[in-house]
Chain A
């Protein structure tokens, strides 16, 4: 069974940094691209960042580009999101999600999601 477990969410002040982690199990982690998607309270879904199976491709949503960095450690079956210069509008539940097909970067259908971790940015 595929499992994705996010951690690292917290209450932080504007301008500070936070690192999220996602522990993966139940599939061959280094065969799949991975993504971060967030959802502000009561709002819709926003794609944040994605990384290919071997880390040779990364991309970011416009609202986080230059502040957030996605990375992965295939030896540890883990995905990360380093969030710097946090803003109030970054407050959201952050989900990690698995790409549907092996080795693919395109057709980014997300077939497994974690339960999410809450990041609150407030003074």
Chain B
């Protein structure tokens, strides 16, 4: 199975900051990568799939990039509602694997 490693595990940032989270795959996964946002007590929400395709309704300050084994999620200008945990997920084949998560905290 593919292993997914996210970094950092947490980041402290202020409103308006640019934040970038990295996800590395243990093997080549092409563009089979998604990002989810999870707020406390809530289910995850799909933000981006196929590396860079924004899910409907997701603000354009979120963007995804990369390919192969290294991927990024960037929030261009952090908003108060963006403080949450972010997970990457590979979908090269089923079973799929999630990264360990990155907590974005208020500085």
* Sampled A-B contacts (19; CB under 8 Å): A37-B44, A44-B87, A44-B100, A47-B95, A47-B98, A59-B94, A59-B95, A62-B95, A107-B32, A108-B91, A108-B94, A109-B34, A109-B46, A109-B50, A109-B89, A110-B89, A113-B43, A114-B43, A115-B43
Interface string of B9-36 (1 = CB under 8 A from A): 0000000000000000000000010101
Q: How far is it, in angstroms, between the C-alpha of A107 and the C-alpha of B89 when the chains are bound? A: 11
B95:A100 contact, CB within 8 angstroms: no
B residues touching A (Cβ–Cβ < 8 Å)?
A: 1, 32, 34, 36, 42-46, 49-50, 55, 87, 89, 91, 93-101
B91:A107 contact, CB within 8 angstroms: yes
A44:B101 contact, CB within 8 angstroms: yes
Q: Which residues of B contact A115 (CB under 8 A)?
A: 42-43
B49:A109 contact, CB within 8 angstroms: yes
Q: Which residues of B contact A95 (CB under 8 A)?
A: 43-44
A105:B50 contact, CB within 8 angstroms: no
Q: A44-B87, A45-B87 are in contact. Are A111 and B98 (CB under 8 A)?
A: no
B95:A113 contact, CB within 8 angstroms: no
Report A32-57 residues with CB < 8 Å from chain B CB: 37, 44-47, 50
